[in-house]
Amino acid sequence: MVNSVQLYDTTLRDGAQSEGISFSVVDKLHIAQKLDELGVHYIEGGWPGSNPKDAEFYERIHEVHLKNAKIAVFGSTRRARVKVEEDKFITELIKSKAKVATLVGKGSDLHVINILKTTLEENINMITDSIQYLKSKKMDVFWDVEHYFDGFKHNPEYSLKLLEAATKAGVDCLVLCDTNGGALPEEITKAVKAALGVTKVPLGIHCHNDDGLAVANTLAAVAAGATQVQGTINGLGERCGNADLCTIIPALKLKMGINCVSDKQLASLTEVSHYISELANMAPDPFAPYVGASAFSHKAGYHMDGVTKWPDAYQHIEPAKVGNMQRTVVSDQSGKDNVIAKARELGVDLSHAEKEVKDLIERVKHLESLGFQYDNAEASFELLLRRAKPDYKPPFELVDFMVMVESKRRSSTRETAEGMISEAMVKVKVAGEIIHTAAEGDGPINALDLAMRKALLQYYPKLKQVKLVDYKVRILEESTGTESQVRVLIESSDGVNEWHTVGGSTNIIEASWLALADALEWWLVKNKK
C-alpha cells in the first residue's frame, strides 16, 4: 500500500453536474478557498471550453491566494482529424493559465469505435498529441482514462497499450476512471495492478457511485497502488454521484494511516461539508458517514449505556476528529441513560433525580403515542425538561385559539370567486394578562403564526427575528383516513441559530399550534427576552 496520497477535488466540475445544482462564479471561488483550507492538493475548476461561467472562474481564481492547492483545468484531448494546435478546446486550456491540465480521453476500444467513430490508432494519436503539446506549454498533464475499467474488461491489451503510449508522451498522472460506476472492488484491484505492470507514472482513481461502491472502489485502488484520489465533497455528481471525499479523507487518514491532510484540517471536514451543502442549496444529509448529524447519534438505551461507559463501544472513531459530535436521541425507546445524557447536553443535571427521570421517560412515551417524536425536535424536548422543573415559569401560556377558513365573497359580477381566506383568533396569557388577537394569513397555519406573534410582540418585540423556515406534516396512520394522527415538525431560525419543534394530534391545526408555540417559547427562554 502507498504511503502518501494526493487529493484531487472535482466538486466544481463533476459535482456541479448534479441535478438541481448550479454554482455561481462567486460560489465556486468561495468553495475553492474552503477546499484549499481543507488541504486538498488539486482543485478542478471546470471546463472553460464548455461555458462562459467556467471561463470566468479561471480569470478570477488567479486573484485568490491559495496556500495548499493547485488549480487544474479540465478539457478533452484533441478531436479526431484535427491538428492539436488548431483544436479550440486545447487552446482554452492554455488560455486558462492553470498550471495543471486534466484531459479526458477514451480508455475503451468500444467507445472509440461506437462514440468517437474513429480508429483505435487515431485515438492513441489524439491522446499523445494532446499530452505532448500541453507539456510543451509547461503544463503538468493528468489524463483521465475514461471508461478504463470497462475497457480493461473487454480488451485489456488495448487499454494497457494506451497507458504505455501516454507514458511515453510524458503524462504526469494516469487517472483510471470507472466512468459508468459499475465496477466491483476486486475488478478495480486487478485493473490497477495491471496498469502498474506497464507504467511507472503515478496512477489516480476516479470513481462514480452508480453501484454504491465509489468509496470502496477508491480505497481498493489506493490499497493496490494508486496515489491520487479524485472525488467530490458530499459525493455530488451526475446520476448517483462521485466518490465522496468526506468519507474517503477520514478513511485514508484514520483507517489506512495515510496523512493526506493534517489533524486540524480533518477537524474542519464537517464544517466544509455543510458549507458546500449550503451553497448548493441542499440540506446536509443527516445520515452521511463521518459528517452527518446522525453519524454519531445514539437512540437505543442499550447503546447509550455502552458509550457512556466506554465511548468506543458503539463509535468507530472519536467524532471530534472530523469536526462532528456525539448526540443523544430521546424517544420512546430511550432508557434513563439517554435521558440523563441528553439533559446533560442541554445543561440540565438529572444524574441524581431518579424519579424525575422516570416520570420524564413515561411522559415521552405517552406523547410519542400521540404523534410527537423528539428524535429531531430537540427544542421541544428541552422544553419538556424545563417544564418538569417546579420553578419553571414559561414566558407565555396558551389559552385558546380558533381558526376559520372560508371562501372569499364573489365579485359583484358573481362570475368568479377571489379564493380562500384564513383567519385565526388566539388567546395567550403573558404576565398574568390575557391577550386576545386575530390575524388573516395565507392558510390556517400562517394565520395562527401571525396571530400569536401579534400578541407576543407587545411584550417581546425582538421576537420578530424568529422566522419559520420549514414546515413538515406527516400522516402517521394512513389506514384511518381523515382521522389519522399527524405529526408537525417545524424548523425555525433567528438568522444565526436553527431549531426544531414538534406537535402531534389528530387535528393538524392543533399539532401546528403546539409546534409553533414551542418554537417561540424555546427562543424566548434561550434568549431570556
- Per-residue pLDDT reduced to its tens digit, 442-455: 888 899 999 999 99
Task: Specify the range with the lowest mean pLDDT, choosing from 187-191, 340-344, 476-480.
Answer: 476-480
The CATH class of 396-459 is alpha beta
Does residue 433 surpass a pLDDT of 60? yes
Please, what is the average pLDDT of the chain?
Answer: 88
Cite the residue boundaries of each domain of the chain with CATH code 3.20.20.70: 6-279
Which pLDDT score, from 0 to 100, does residue 294 have? 81
**Residue 438: CB partners within 8 Å, gap ≥ 6?**
423, 424, 425, 426, 451, 454
Query: 411 vs 119, 407, 419, 423, CA distance in Å?
Result: 73, 12, 11, 20
**In terms of pTM, does the model score above 0.85?**
no
CA distance 98 to 59: 10
Q: Is 344's pLDDT higher than 60?
A: yes
Instruction: Please give the Cα distance from 229 to 341 (Å, whole number).
Output: 39
Lowest mean pLDDT among 7-11, 145-149, 477-481, 523-527: 477-481
pLDDT at 414 over 50: no
Cβ proximity of 36 and 68 under 8 Å: yes
Helix and strand numbers, DSSP H then E, in the chain:
18, 16
- H or E segment and range at residue 501: strand 498-505
Confidence at residue 103, expressed as pLDDT on a 0 to 100 scale: 98
Q: Is it the case that residue 302 has pLDDT exceeding 50? A: no
Q: Which fold has domain 6-279?
A: TIM Barrel (3.20.20)
Give the pLDDT confidence score for residue 282 in this predicted structure: 84
Domain with CATH 3.30.160 in the chain: 396-459
- Above 80 in pLDDT, residue 381? yes
Residue 268 predicted with pLDDT over 70: yes
pLDDT at 356 over 50: yes
Per-residue pLDDT, 3: 87
